[in-house]
Structure 1
Amino acid sequence: MKKAIFASMLAAAAIAAAPYSAAAQAAAQPAAGGQAAAGGQAAAGGQVQLSPPEFDAYNKVTTAADPAGKAAAAEAFLQQFPQSSVKSAVLQQLAVAYYSQQNWAKAADAADRLLQADPNSIQGLFIATSAAKTQGDQSSDAAARQSAYDKAAGYATRGLAATKPAAMDQGQWDTVTKQLAPIFYSAIGIDALGKKDYPAAISAYTSELKAVPEDQTKQPGPILQDTYYLGTAYYQSTPPDYLSCTFYATRAVTYAPDQFKAQFQPVATYCYKKYHGGDDGYDAVKTAAAASVSMPDTLKTSIKPAPTPADQATQVLASDKQDDPTLAKTNLADRMFVIQNGTADQAEQEFTPIKGKEARLSGVVVSIDGTDLKLAVTDDAKAANPKTADVEVTLKEAPKTTPAVDATVDVVGTFDSYTQQPLLVKMTGGEIQAKAPARTAPARRATPTRRR
């Protein structure tokens, strides 16, 4: 009696060329279970009885030597025997054949047809997830890309919740689901990242890293890329977790191929400086990131965070008082930093010595409307995009020639009042000066590093 195995995990097709090939190959191993037999009576031992023509057509599917031949044989079988008792098995092999050819549109269609016949098919959910995610990766249209990721995440969520078929051995089921879990988590992670749902992205990517042997997290490929994405998710969270961003981005840099290191390093460096305030001590992060897939608690205690703006304001005010107890000679940058970031009392201490005093300052025009001139004076205000006004000058009269936005002007005016948040120092009796006299800034001791 002729027999053909049809219950299998991804049908023993060669799919090593596709993403996550190791997982796909593991999923392709045959499972014990039902068989198809030719003949006119029900077969014993859990076999499915097929008529000779149906059996011959099915046998062409299972014995096809290459994916293209298997796909053609499967499509022919499904057209000839649309209600066959082995329909799910043939659809499974069809989906695998298209997956092997990286024909993602047809793989997605075949997987969807398989899931209509067997909604719990882990094979169908794996291929549907992979095909949709790859289509998203390859799309240049943002809306189409996110739509594909949404589909992939939906299939992936179902894949993680799938239950073992009765005919499958528990050990094989455990092996396959362990291999496929990282792929499902990866699809959920990229979908959440695109939606700016950073907690969900962090959860998915963290689960992905926990689901694989540590050696696999060091190899170039999707898992290492997702390690970098995990770092960016921490960076974009509210509030940002700069230390976690530093760790995972650094781990990605450590094991990435040379051509990708330059792309990953800026995020790691930026997050470290935002957390620590400088680049000293970064070697400790690199050592820890190379040694572990998860950030060790010791890193949280060994790498000290930079002082907060409030802490820095206290330090700046103390230094200013040491230079001049009256604060009359404090430079404008220090004064405005303390006004913005200090307590109400500290801000008042810095503003009182200049209130009602005339001064000359230089700034970039943010806007001008008649006698209302708004300037960006501090480095932070000038560097903002768009520039923000931190000084407002009420001019004595509207200028005959209105300065252009982004032009640098010198003004003379009298300090009148201020608000702390957002910072805005107000001056009255202002006049735009034709040209500032040349002058040399006095040397001054360094102030604490300020967070930008």
Structure 2
Amino acid sequence: MKKAVVASLLAVASAATCARVAVAQTQVNLGANAQQTGGGIQLAPAEYNDYTAAIGQTTPQAQAPALEQFLQKYPQSQVKTDVLQRLMAAYSAFDPAKTLDAADRVLQVDPNNIRALTIETFFRLQGSDSITDPAAKQAALDKAASYAQQGLSATKPKDMSDADFATAKGAATPIFHRAIATDALAKKDAATAITNLKANLDGAKPEETKTPGPLLQDTYTLGQAYYASTPPDFLSCAWYATRAASFAPEPYKTQMMPLAKFCYKRYHGADDGFDALVTQAQANLNPPANLSDTIKPAPKPADVAHQVVTSTADLSTLAISDKEFILQNGSTEDAAKVWDTIKGKTVQIPDATVVSVSDTALQVSVSDDAVQGKTADFTFNLTAPLKTAPTVGSKVTVTGTYSSFTPNPIMITMSDGAVVEPKKTPAKPAPGHRPVRKK
């Protein structure tokens, strides 16, 4: 099957909204000349006037530079943390980079500031979506997860009320769990991802998981995490992916449903009964404890492989994906029978997905499982370096000779590998011109 790829969060809360929830504003009550805040902070009259002028700006674009000027003029102000928090909120409306810079400055003076940790986590997680380099993307996710872990363990500061801290922590906790889960999935740590995504869903109201938004996205990602588990939990994958797809608007519904059906079929072995699962998943966020008793599992892979081997008169006629399935899951005897039909033979494989490429080898995904998991199941040892290296994720036609294989994880190694260049269509002669016949 093709992987269901969701390009972005479904109607995710804007960065500015996140910042407004995370950043509570300090109320300042001043006397005539004492200039004392409600929290006991005293400001000189001139500083107080500059402070009130800066926070009184009516737009984020006007407030941000005014706050910056205040910080330059009063670098050691007693309201520095408050001003930096306001600066985060202002920048979050129009400049993510400066938002993070403001959050960095808050953490320099208050390392466990829940509001700044929320901003760091949210914007770093959001920014990772646009990073294409795998190493840089993982570094960004690691950074977001690090701030998230710090945020989850943050304690209430003495100058913050219980109510304000509870509000800030309540808004931030799902963001923290989401960042940790996303980072874990990128590192193939499905167990950590599942723990954090379940925490988000268990802490939400069921109705909130039915509407487009981050929690609906978390539901689908939880299905992906169960699929990525070792071994895969296909039934749990089918449940959560089905629930997410049921309530997602288009085009996300169409992108999500293939994973739901794929996992269901891998567990059950066929499509029958899937409509009943859809009805159940729509009515309940989590599956019933006896779900596995109500849906019959498919035969074990080794049994399926043996049945195919014993019922196929000519094993060489099997599709490549079927041969690979038997090599991976069949008994030693059944795998040997299939391997004897292909060893040393040269084949051409179209529409292989590139996973990695070097001067000496090309690794690709061929089977549906490999494509779904973004893992390589074929290695083509190249006869010569490629003139033009294909990009990771692109589709290529490759040729090679079956050389060897390892069953777990499955890797089929091909010798004499090469990429087959697509044939160029001859250019048509210009209208009104006859082709010149060579003598």
Q: Tell me which of 193, 209, 224 is aligned to 1:232.
A: 224
- 1:42 deviates by 7.6
**Aligned partners of 2:66 and 2:328: how far apart in 1?**
73
- Give the secondary-structure state (helix, strand or coil) at the position aligned to 2:42: strand
Check 1:44–1:240 CA distance in 2 against 1; reply closer, same or farther (3 A cut): closer
1:48 — aligned with what? 41
Unpaired runs of 5+ residues, structure 1, are 1-15, 321-329, 352-358, 368-378, 389-403, 409-418, 424-452
DSSP 3-state at the match of 2:290:
helix
What CA RMSD, in Å, does the superposition of the two structures yield over aligned residues?
Answer: 3.9
Asked if residue 86 in structure 1 is aligned to residue 66 in structure 2, the reply is no
The alpha carbon displacement at 1:100 in A equals: 2.4
Q: Is 1:155 the equivalent of 2:142?
A: no
Quickly say closer, same or farther: Cα 1:39–1:235, change in 2 above 3 A: same
CA distance in 1 between counterparts of 2:377 and 2:36 reads 75
Q: Structure with the greater relative contact order (CA < 8 A, sep ≥ 6): 1 or 2? A: 2
8 Å CA contact 1:181, 1:211 repeated in 2: no
Structure 1 counterpart of 2:267, which letter? Y
Structure 2 portions without partners, runs of 5+ = 1-11, 348-366, 381-397, 411-439
Is residue 165 of structure 1 aligned with residue 157 of structure 2? Answer: yes
Selected match of 2:313 from 331, 355, 363? 331
Greater radius of gyration (CA)? 1
Structure 2 CA distance for partners of 1:405 and 1:255, relative to 1, 3 Å:
closer
- Tell me the matched-pair count: 346
Aligned partners of 1:111 and 1:128 also within 8 Å: yes
Identity %: 42
* SS in structure 2 at match of 1:150: helix
Kindly state the Cα deviation for residue 91 of structure 1 after the two structures are TM-superposed. 0.2
Corresponding residue of 2:391: none
In 2, Cα distance between equivalents of 1:276 and 1:194: 28
Aligned residue in 1 for 2:190: 198
1:365 aligns to what? 345
Q: Secondary structure at the match of 1:220?
A: coil
Q: 1:231 to 1:290 in 2, by over 3 A?
A: same
Q: Indicate the residue corresponding to 1:263 in structure 2.
A: 255
Provide closer, same or farther for how the CA distance between residues 420 and 316 of structure 1 changes in structure 2, counting only shifts above 3 A.
Answer: farther
Q: Deviations over 1:105-141 (max 9, x none)?
A: 0100101101111112111111111111111123233
Displacement, 1:236? 1.5
Q: Secondary structure at the match of 1:153?
A: helix
Q: TM-score, normalised by structure 1?
A: 0.66
Structure 1's 223 and 303: CA in aligned 2 closer, same or farther, altered over 3 A?
Answer: same
Structure 1 pair 69–251 and aligned structure 2 pair: CA distance change class (3 A): same
Residues 302 and 329 in structure 2, CA contact (< 8 A), matched pair in contact too? yes
- Measured after TM superposition, the shift of residue 75 of structure 1 is 0.4
- TM-score scaled to structure 2, two decimals? 0.68
The correspondence for 2:54, drawn from 61, 67, 81, is: 61
2:18 is the counterpart of 1:18: no
Residue in 2 that maps onto 1:355: none
Matched, 1:120 2:112: yes
The equivalent position to 2:92 in structure 1, one of 70, 87, 99, is 99
Q: How many angstroms apart in 2 are the aligned matches of 1:97 and 1:67?
A: 4
Bigger shift: residues 47-56 or 295-304 = 295-304
1:18-417 matches, within 5 Å, as 18-19=14-15, 21=17, 25-28=20-23, 30=25, 35=28, 37=30, 41=34, 43=36, 46-101=39-94, 103-312=95-304, 331-333=313-315, 365-366=345-346, 385-386=377-378
CA contact (8 A) 1:220 1:256 kept: yes
**1:264 to 1:38, Cα distance in 2 relative to 1, 3 A:** same
Per the alignment, do residues 177 and 338 of structure 1 end up closer, same or farther by CA in structure 2, a change over 3 Å counting? Answer: closer
Distance 2:232 2:181 in 1: 18
